[in-house]
Amino acid sequence: MKHKLTVKGIIRRGDGKILIVKRSAADNHQPGSWETVGGGVEEGISPQAALKKEIMEEVSLEVKVGQPFNIFNLVKDNGDKKIGITFICDYLSGEVKLSDEHDDFKWINPFDFKKFNSVQSLYLEIARYANKFSGEHEKFVVSQKGVLIRDKKCLILEADKRPNIWDLPGGRINNNENSKEAFRREIEEELEIKKFKIIDTIDYETWHTNSGFALCGVANLIETEEKIQLSDEHTSLKWIKEDEIDQYEFVWPSMGRMIKNGFRRDKNKK
């Protein structure tokens, strides 16, 4: 079957937020899911001109179509196959007015897109955009995780949108935060607890990610007696024994080692 060309735009404002739109509930392809604006390319028109036209028709905005950012493959629910190009677009003027193709819109921080129902390929695309162009984090990122061991078992969390990939609670240091403030904020948000003790920093590692930035991952041993409740960043939790660690795939390449170091430190903390 012949592939058709489609174009999408990551429309960004001066404040760093990007526009996402929600597909109509009556749409015949992934109704109700969130996406970026765009559509098909007609014969005889350039991809940039086609995208500018689609953006005006779908959301009534004037934009400057900039550099191509990503190329993707798409198979629609009806079997149509498409090759897509995503462009970075700068907002120029206008107020969002939706066509009947969409039911809702939001201007969001690109790092928050993971909170919206969409497709895996778009999560990855927006994550790459956020890490390359957003000013919220520097190109060198520090992320801190908590190793919580209770009754000789460590808490691990299943990553949202990534089934069977496991994580530890915690996250990045934002601009204008110190490391302690950031770590406490992340643990409180992700586990919904208020009281916990930081025992020690037990491990760290640095590496380059596929998104084009350097990451320093730090693991801290923590303890708390409070009940754990997950935020929407993770889908499930497990308490695993030390001899079960190698059975799991983790989001960081060295996270298994970090957890093992946590068990060793936990045995000696008294």
pLDDT at 258: 97
pLDDT class of 120 with cuts at 50, 70, 90: confident
Looking at 28-32, 42-46, 67-71, 243-247, which range is the least confident one?
A: 28-32
Alpha helices in the chain (DSSP H): 47-59, 120-133, 179-191, 255-268
**3-class secondary-structure state, position 118:** coil
pLDDT class of 268 with cuts at 50, 70, 90: confident
pLDDT class of 11 with cuts at 50, 70, 90: very high
What is the tens place of the pLDDT at every residue in 53-101? 999 999 999 999 999 989 988 776 666 777 889 999 999 999 999 999 9
Query: Does the model's pTM come out above 0.85?
Result: no
Which CATH number does the domain 4-133 belong to among 3.40.50.20, 3.90.79.10, 3.40.50.300, 3.30.1450.10? Answer: 3.90.79.10
State how far the alpha carbon of 153 is from the alpha carbons of 12, 108, 159, 266, in Å: 44, 38, 19, 10
What's the mean pLDDT in 124-151?
83
What is the tens place of the pLDDT at every residue in 167-213? 999 999 887 788 999 999 999 999 999 899 999 999 999 987 766 67
Mean of the per-residue pLDDT values of the chain:
89
CATH 3.90.79.10 boundaries in the chain: 4-133, 140-268
Contact between 82 and 58 under an 8 Å Cβ cutoff? The reply is: no
Contact between 184 and 178 under an 8 Å Cβ cutoff? The reply is: no
Q: State which amino acid sits at residue 145.
A: K
pLDDT at 78: 66
What's the mean pLDDT in 39-53?
92
pLDDT at 222: 97
pLDDT class of 270 with cuts at 50, 70, 90: low
DSSP state of 69: E
What gap in Å lies between CA 103 and CA 115, rounded to an integer? 18
pLDDT at 76: 67
**Position 29 pLDDT exceeds 90:** no
Contact between 85 and 52 under an 8 Å Cβ cutoff? The reply is: no
> Could you name the CATH architecture of 140-268?
Alpha-Beta Complex (3.90)
